[in-house]
Chains A and B, each alone.
Chain A
Amino acid sequence: MAPVLRLRGLGWSVGGATIVDEVSLDVREGEFLAFIGPNGAGKTSLFNLISGLVPATRGSIALDGADVTAESVPARARRGLGRTFQTSSLWPAMTVADHVRLAAQAASGGSYRIWRRASAFAERVGPVLERTGLAHRAGVPSADLSHGEKRKLELAVLLVGEPRLMLLDEPMAGVSAEEVPALTGLIRSLHRDEGRTVLMVEHHMDVLLGLADRLAVMHHGTLLALDTPQAVTADPVVQQAYLGEAL
């Protein structure tokens, strides 16, 4: 069976500067792969390349064995790829339910009947709000949510599209310490109980060690190491490049 995601020699350069350089890796179905590395190591840029936000300047990206290097963001989303962003990416004046409704629409695609009521998607919205613990906040504008709730809403927006491969870019960023366990629990459950493949950028090593099957260490745009958390943390090269100062 083809891996869910296959990167071969993937690179991205802007104005002569190489941001992502020669990244090759395979992600198998149901795996949890975490990306660590110092700021500017190219982790978010790599996510941008995988999700199609920026075009690769070298190499190839394949989803389920199909080459998607030239495909648009929507086309890749239709193949089951979904992502969240490092900075909170919500529409401040729109309600929690509106966000999930819009995502449900995006996921359903196809039939575009202008006057079809948005509430036609209600049956998909409710369960996702329950799943992410936001049901009681459905009518609240996203601007009024706590950081943790905003992160949950981003996951809800992602989940309604039933992605098989989820790219989570620092899902804990800005979240208060008391909200972290619930969010971690939710992400773990999406992976373990629902079998989704997860790629996640995260700085909190303590969070990752309980979640990730493998760690990918990025440094200056390249993939420095890719192995089990135990092996990676024991790797002297990795320790020198990154973990030494971070841990």
Chain B
Amino acid sequence: MSTTVLLAVTGLGLGALYFLVAAGLSLIFGLMDVLNFAHGALLSVGAYATWWAAGGHLPGAGSGGFGFVLAVCFGTAVGTVAAVVLELALIRPLYDRPREQVLATVGVGLAVPALLSAIWGPDARPFPGPAALSGTFGLLGARIPVNRLVLIGAAAVVLVALRLFLGGTRHGLVVRAGVEDRAMVTALGIDVRRAFTLVFAIGGAAAALGGALGGLYYGSVDPGQGTSLLIFAFVVVVIGGTFGAGGSGAATGSVAGAALAAVVVGLVQQFANYYTASGLGDLAVVVLLAVLLLLKPGGVTGRLA
């Protein structure tokens, strides 16, 4: 029982991490038809910026209490700025050339880890965090690491904030309409490119927050973290699309679908890794993806999520 609880909470924590990356990924794809292979790099930027700040390099920031909160905010802000710069400098000039656009994001996805590795080395660096978050607590007989709850809580806050943004603000309305039919939003006389930048900023912020809190989860940062998480985030986006959580609109549905898929992927991975052999969990996720695609192929071709 205690093992099941531990696996479930850890799976949810992992799912939360996936969701933070996948939410932006699916919104960016839904609105702009851009497969952003640089999204993992945004996570890494957030992770390293948080690590750098929490290591005492940013005045006021540190590894404990308010200092750590400040470090996480700093990391998220740096990731957000990086996402906006990426959109303005690289994605925007290539709107009419989707193939080059994909190649450019792949390039950034490779260059950023290489750059991080060049500056701070290829090895994992221990991630400083507050003592309160490195402990465990008891739940139904299991000892659960506190950082899992931090991740789950953060993902829940991001999910609620995204839904409020999409459902209740004027920019959210533009994004929702743009996900359904972008050309028509332009025809109305709305400059949809502002929404592009905004969605990139939101996606970058969520991914960078994922990076900052992922450091807690893994206990370390390394240059390749973002890339490996990105693969599973893509799986989450595609699976979320097959769920087709419709009814409330394509954008809201894609965010909800990504959240649900992230939970499923995280849980399947954790349980399969524990009860079969280590590594089979990753395989199980891919098998799950394949089965869902075979049963419901429209999930990808219609809308990725």
Contact = CB atoms under 8 A, between A and B. Distances in A.
Contacts of A94: 176-177, 180, 249
Given A74-B191, A78-B189, A118-B168, A93 B249 contact: yes
Contacts of A92: 180
B189 A161 contact: yes
Given A102-B174, A118-B173, A89 B189 contact: no
A114 B174 CA distance: 11
Nearest to B194: A112
Contact of B190 (A53, A74, A121): A74
Contacts of A149: none
A73 B189 CA distance: 6
Contact of A118 (B170, B184, B246, B250): B170
Contacts of A115: 169
Interface in B185-216: 185-191, 194, 198
Nearest to A114: B171
Contacts of A121: 170
Interface residues of A, number: 33
A73 B186 contact: yes
A101 B173 contact: yes
B30 to A, nearest CB: 12
Interface in B115-142: none
A107 interface: yes
Q: With a 10 A CB-CB cut-off, give which of B174, B180, B188, B190 has the most chain A CB atoms.
A: B188
B15 interface: no
Interface in B147-164: none
Contacts of A85: 187
B188 A102 contact: yes
B241 interface: no
Given A73-B187, A105-B170, 16 more contacts: A51-B187, A89-B181, A89-B184, A90-B184, A91-B176, A91-B180, A93-B247, A94-B180, A98-B173, A102-B188, A105-B174, A106-B188, A115-B169, A116-B170, A117-B168, A120-B170
27 contacts: A73-B186, A74-B186, A74-B189, A77-B188, A78-B189, A83-B187, A91-B176, A91-B180, A92-B180, A93-B246, A93-B250, A98-B177, A101-B173, A102-B190, A105-B173, A105-B174, A106-B189, A106-B190, A112-B171, A112-B194, A115-B169, A116-B170, A117-B169, A118-B168, A118-B170, A119-B168, A161-B189
Interface of A: 51, 53, 73-74, 77-78, 83, 85, 89-94, 98, 101-103, 105-107, 109, 112, 114-121, 157, 161
Of all A-B residue pairs in the complex, the 3 with the closest CB atoms, nearest first, are: A77-B189, A91-B180, A93-B249
